[in-house]
Amino acid sequence: MDTGPYLKAAVICSEAIEGKDGALSLIRIIDRLTISASGPNPPTEMPIVKQRLKIVLMFISGRAKGSEDARIRMERPDGRTQDVWAGTLFFEGEDRGANVIMDTEVEFRQQGLYWFDLYMGTTRLTRMPFRLIYQRAGAGPG
């Protein structure tokens, strides 16, 4: 029987504001980013892009009490993976929850679809998609 903790939200956004009462406001939830290169000879291949992302996780305890290990693993378009965050969450039970607001800088080496997988222990709870698009705009003739 499923007892929790339960995932309430997992998003990538531009900003998250936590009020004095613990309520969260999520600003500009995003799942794609367009990188533009312009000029007379924009590179054919996308250059390495470092991008700051804010990832917000919200949980409700349910019957879960105590500490649980969690992590986020990023899967690149080529299938390679890397961990981008790991931590321990504490659950008090019932309607009490745990929120995680993390600032992370991700190095994107290729355009395409990235997946951010959220794990609790060894169980994947969800996947967050993030598409990186590279656009070239060269200067026209004469």
Tens of pLDDT, residue by residue over 96-116, are: 889 999 999 999 999 999 999
pLDDT computed for residue 111 by the predictor? 95
Q: Is the residue at 29 inside a domain?
A: yes
**Is residue 71 a contact partner of residue 121, using CB atoms and an 8 Å limit?**
no
Q: Is the residue at 38 inside a domain?
A: yes
Q: Is the residue at 113 inside a domain?
A: yes
pLDDT computed for residue 108 by the predictor? 94
Q: Is the residue at 14 inside a domain?
A: yes
Whether the predicted pLDDT of 132 surpasses 70: yes
Domain of residue 94 covers 6-136
**Is residue 62 a contact partner of residue 120, using CB atoms and an 8 Å limit?**
no
Calculate the average pLDDT of the chain. Answer: 92
Q: Is the residue at 50 inside a domain?
A: yes
Reduce the DSSP state of residue 23 to 3 states and report it. coil
Q: Is the residue at 141 inside a domain?
A: no
- What residue has token string 């994107």? 108
Domains identified in the chain, total number: 1
Tens of pLDDT, residue by residue over 37-63, are: 888 888 888 999 999 999 999 999 999
CATH number of the domain that residue 130 is part of: 2.60.40.3880
Q: Is the C-alpha dihedral spanning 38, 136, 48, 119 positive or negative? A: positive
DSSP string, 27-96: EEE-SEEEEEEEESS--SSPPPEEEEEEEEEEEEEET--EEEEEEEEEE-TTS-EEEEEEEEEEE-SEEE
Q: Is the residue at 64 inside a domain?
A: yes
pLDDT computed for residue 140 by the predictor? 52
Q: Is the residue at 1 inside a domain?
A: no
Band (pLDDT 50/70/90 cuts) for residue 142 is: very low
pLDDT computed for residue 1 by the predictor? 46
